[in-house]
Structure 1
Amino acid sequence: MTDMPTAPTIADGIAHYVEGAFDAAADIFCRLSNEGDAEAMMWLGSCYANGEGKPNSVKDAFKYYLLAAEAGQAQAMTNVGAMLVNGQGCKRDLDEGIKWLEAAANLNDAGAQFNLATLFSAGKDVDIEIDRAAGWYKRAAEQGHYPSQARLGYCYQHGAGVEKSRVNAYLWYALAAQHGVGTALSSLERIMGEMSAEEKREGAALIQSWRRKTAAVSSQAVLDPTLQ
């Protein structure tokens, strides 16, 4: 008796995609999408968006992102929201786009949080709500989203939506700068020139506290027996 072939999984599709075998990846994503797999729908949308394994089509990308979003996939919600805001592959609908971004942001998708913060700080399409923007930057920054860390540093430096604090600005600029965010590095250098010795000590202590916190989270994730 021979073993039955194992059906491909979403992990197989992602592995093919990462290796650049886009046709094989898209085939798996198609099959799983037809079976109702929301993550596969999101990946299939990406195949269409990038022209990888499928013809480049923002319209088809939006179609599959929307199917995944309606099934509760957070990253797809972010993509749908951004595409609606910008009118990519669909009719532009700012209010509906913001609703999708907020839904994803409330599921802790850092990309959605950053997009919302950018909308409310720029004031291009909506009224400026700097407190709301700073709040979303903070939530994304605390998840390690480097661009949000840089923006949050700016908020603390200038008291935009948060209480002005060189120490907190130093913290967030430093975290962003260590991941190569160039604007954060130049801002960090400027603010260090304005800080007192005591403020620098406080800033260094905050960075150490952040590192201990993130290290503890990483350690717990590795050691959690439910993940073994």
Structure 2
Amino acid sequence: MSLAAKSLAVQPLAPVPTLTEGVAAFQARAYDRALAVFQPLAEAGDAEAQAWLGALHAGGTGVPASLTQAFAWYRRAAEQGHGPAATNVGAMLAMGQGVAQDRAEGARWLERAAASGDVMAAYNLATLLAKGDGLPADPARAADLYRSAAEAGHYPSQARLGHLYAHGIGVERDRVEAFAWLSLAAGHGVGTALNALEEVIKEMSADEKREGAARAQARRTAPGRIAPIPA
């Protein structure tokens, strides 16, 4: 005698919140909701969620501000190849924020992030190398890094590269190149670039100014460049 099969009602599973939902919650300033989304994803190993969780701790949004916690989450993301998180790890090590200061180790993380194309990493690493702060000074390498970020549209890097050309630091002194890069940075409100540009202009001929303006315009409209990153 066969037993009649009993039908079992299956309770539908609640959909797992996605990273996109967490980002949307953050943008809506629903920080508690963002935290509730990012935390389990980060603990499960999602590098992007780990980076977002680091940002929450750094800014004290949805959680008490803690640079120590921010560094820990940024590092977990960085170890998985997350470029911006690696930049934050490098910068925090260099400045001793949330972790014991170690400029050499910070530079290594910044080098890694810069190699992946992160312009903020290139800028930060260039700043350390230009100053020789905690590691050997290398003005030529600093100039190369500033140039890579400047060509990507990073305004502070354009200002720094213009300064190097104006004074012949790490590069041959070149008033025309200085004018071009400083003009680009000044056009986006970088005050130090405007002041430096005024000093360079005092030494330039009319022909040099025209050439500098032409180079600035060419770089401003060159095809294939990414959108400038605000300072």
Using the size of structure 1 for normalisation, the TM-score is: 0.88
Corresponding residue number in structure 1 for 2:32: 23
Corresponding residue number in structure 2 for 1:195: 204
Distance 1:182 1:119, change over 3 A: same
- Between structures 1 and 2, the one with greater helix share: 1
Contact 2:164 2:178 in 1 (8 A): yes
Note the C-alpha offset of 1:129. Answer: 1.4
Counterpart mapping for 1:202-221 below 5 A? 202-214=211-223, 216-217=224-225
Corresponding residue number in structure 2 for 1:32: 41
What is the alpha-carbon distance in structure 1 between the residues aligned to residue 24 and residue 36 of structure 2? 13
Contact 2:156 2:185 in 1 (8 A): yes
* More off after superposition, 159-168 vs 190-199: 190-199
Corresponding residue number in structure 2 for 1:111: 120
What is the alpha-carbon distance in structure 1 between the residues aligned to residue 110 and residue 225 of structure 2? 26
Question: Which residue, 82, 94, 102 being the options, matches 2:103?
Answer: 94
Corresponding residue number in structure 2 for 1:224: none
Q: Gapped runs of 5+ residues in structure 2?
A: 1-11
Corresponding residue number in structure 1 for 2:175: 166
* More off after superposition, 167-176 vs 32-41: 32-41
Deviation per CA, 1:38-62: give whole Å up to 9, x if none: 1110010010111101111111111
Question: Are 1:9 and 2:13 counterparts?
Answer: no
Return the letter of the residue paired with 2:69: D
Note the C-alpha offset of 1:213. Answer: 1.0
Note the C-alpha offset of 1:146. Answer: 0.9
Return the letter of the residue paired with 1:195: M
Counterpart mapping for 1:169-180 below 5 A? 169-180=178-189
What is the alpha-carbon distance in structure 1 between the residues aligned to residue 168 and residue 55 of structure 2? 38
* More off after superposition, 61-70 vs 82-91: 82-91
Deviation per CA, 1:150-181: give whole Å up to 9, x if none: 00000011111112111111111111111110
SS at 1:211's partner residue? helix
Return the letter of the residue paired with 1:153: G
What is the alpha-carbon distance in structure 2 between the residues aligned to residue 65 and residue 118 of structure 1? 21
Corresponding residue number in structure 2 for 1:62: 71
Using the size of structure 2 for normalisation, the TM-score is: 0.87
Corresponding residue number in structure 1 for 2:141: 132
Contact 2:123 2:149 in 1 (8 A): yes
Note the C-alpha offset of 1:8. Answer: 2.8
Distance 1:167 1:5, change over 3 A: farther
Question: Which residue, 184, 196, 208 being the options, matches 2:193?
Answer: 184
Deviation per CA, 1:108-128: give whole Å up to 9, x if none: 111111111111111232222
What is the alpha-carbon distance in structure 2 between the residues aligned to residue 198 and residue 141 of structure 1? 24
What is the alpha-carbon distance in structure 1 between the residues aligned to residue 105 and residue 190 of structure 2? 31
RMSD of equivalent CA atoms: 2.0
The structure with higher relative contact order (CA 8 Å, sep 6+) is 2
Greater Rg, structure 1 or structure 2? 2
Note the C-alpha offset of 1:6. Answer: 4.8
What is the alpha-carbon distance in structure 1 between the residues aligned to residue 15 and residue 154 of structure 2? 37
